[in-house]
Amino acid sequence: MNIYEEDILDHYQNPSNYGDLENPDISYEEDNPLCGDKIHMDLKIEDGIIEDIRFHGYGCTISQAAASMLTEEIKGKPVEEVKKLTRDDILEMLGIPLGPVRLKCGLLALKVLKAGIYGIKEWPGEEED
């Protein structure tokens, strides 16, 4: 087992920022019906900074570890900086190659985060009517 695999397993078994926030500014959840993963995120934002974040859910090791790693990465950062995160950032964070099926697992947390920050109707690059 390499160091990345050990890190993923540790995040799965001992997730960071797991749970709920009272009175979150943003709360969003989504699932991946193909493999049964589900992630819910609560964010507290103050002056454009992600002051606190929590997640909970269930699913495979990759989806839950990615959510834990992502919450560690963005806590304390400006929302505008977080909006720029890409799938490549998540893949780099995970540090292991993911096949097509596992890619959806690995990116679910980012999808939930961005959907919550942007709101469901306003994805990056799309204009609201």
Question: Is 8 in a helix, a strand, or coil?
Answer: helix
Q: pTM of the prediction? A: 0.89
Record the tokens describing residue 56, joined without a space.
């909970």
71-128 tens-digit pLDDT: 999 999 999 999 999 999 999 999 999 998 899 999 999 999 999 999 854 444 544 4
How far is it, in rounded angstroms, from Cα 88 to Cα 43? Answer: 23
Record the tokens describing residue 113, joined without a space.
């985060």
CA angle (40 as vertex; 36, 42 as ends), nearest 5: 170
37-71 tens-digit pLDDT: 999 999 999 999 999 999 999 999 999 999 999 99
CATH code of the domain occupying 3-118: 3.90.1010.10
Mark 50-64 as b/e (b = at least 16 C-beta within 10 Å). bebbbbbbebbebbb
